[in-house]
Structure 1
Amino acid sequence: MGNIRITKLFSFETGHALYGYDGKCKNVHGHSYKLSVTVFGQPIKDNTHVKFGMVIDFTDLKKIVKEEIVDVFDHATVFNKNTPHVELAKELKDRGHNVLLVNYQPTSEMMVIDFAEKIKKRLPKSIQLHSLKLQETESSYAEWYASEN
């Protein structure tokens, strides 16, 4: 048997602001993100194994992505912690809002790199992350491919 790719789709709502940006996205706003996670590996060949024929159980992949990405970013506001937005972040946190401070500009491009690192660390040794697609709007998305990184 050869390698098979498995893809699972996720969605979450996240707010952000791009400090120093020269357009509307410098303002706090949000997106309905769609994340496609594709992994690859060989289906389990042992017919006595409970997951016989699977590369990875979709439930197991869902657990990883939910814990690392969806549950963390859903309905949160993300700011680069190295910008003056930290003052706004503190104010929002003090008012009970879910705020994430990250080490990068929270663009789709940088978020997808962050997500790839988090997911790779949690995958079983026999499974490799193939690609991620983070869709920010209906017509805009960022992609990450293992083969290019």
Structure 2
Amino acid sequence: MLDFKIVDKLQKIDEDIQKDQLNYHAKRVLVSKEFTFDAAHHLHHYEGKCKNLHGHTYRVVLGLSGYTDERGLMIDFGDIKKIWKQKIEIHLDHRYLNETLPPMNTTAENIVVWIYEKLAEALLDEPSYNGACVEFVRLYETPTSYAEARREWMEGE
């Protein structure tokens, strides 16, 4: 039998916990959020099935790192979702990628770098994100195939 207990008393700020106790540490942390989008594309200068117009349900994983604020938050997951929806997804979801992305061959390798750049740009535009930076973007074109862009590769090149 499971031992189930109802909380006796909800913790209250300034009574049971002080504001200066909210941030437990001063270490860098990584937070991650996943999204999916559906899009069509085709590849140029390529001999194979992908030279024909086709579509994918892409899955993207965004990894951001930084230091927590006085509340113990590095970046709110809702803020990551807002950036995704307003700055990135509008160019991708239910779109013909060859038309909506900058001129490029719409390979997973090219798209993942474009997503990385858009996310990094959005983080720079908002100082309240405590210096959060993109650590990686992973773009799954199929459930078992992905391309990845990492900060050390993007900033070191």
Q: TM-score range by the shorter chain?
A: 0.7 to 0.9
Identical amino acids, percent of aligned pairs:
34
Instruction: Report the 3-state secondary structure (helix = DSSP H, G, I; strand = E; otherwise coil) of the residue aligned with 1:44.
Output: coil
Q: What is the TM-score with the length of structure 1 in the denominator?
A: 0.79
Change beyond 3 A, Cα 1:146–1:103: same
* Greater fraction of residues in strand: 1
Aligned length: 124
Which residue of 74, 80, 87 maps to 1:68? Answer: 87
Structure 1 gap ranges (5+): 46-51, 80-98
Structure-to-structure mapping, 1:1-149, within 5 angstroms = 1-45=26-70, 52-79=71-98, 99-123=99-123, 124-125=126-127, 126-149=131-154
Indicate the structure (1 or 2) with the bigger Cα radius of gyration.
2
Q: What is the TM-score with the length of structure 2 in the denominator?
A: 0.75
Structure 2 gap ranges (5+): 1-25
Amino acid at match of 2:105: Q
Change beyond 3 A, Cα 1:25–1:34: same
Aligned Cα RMSD in Å? 1.2
Q: CA deviation at 1:101?
A: 4.9
Runs of 4+ in 1 over 4 A off after TM superposition: none
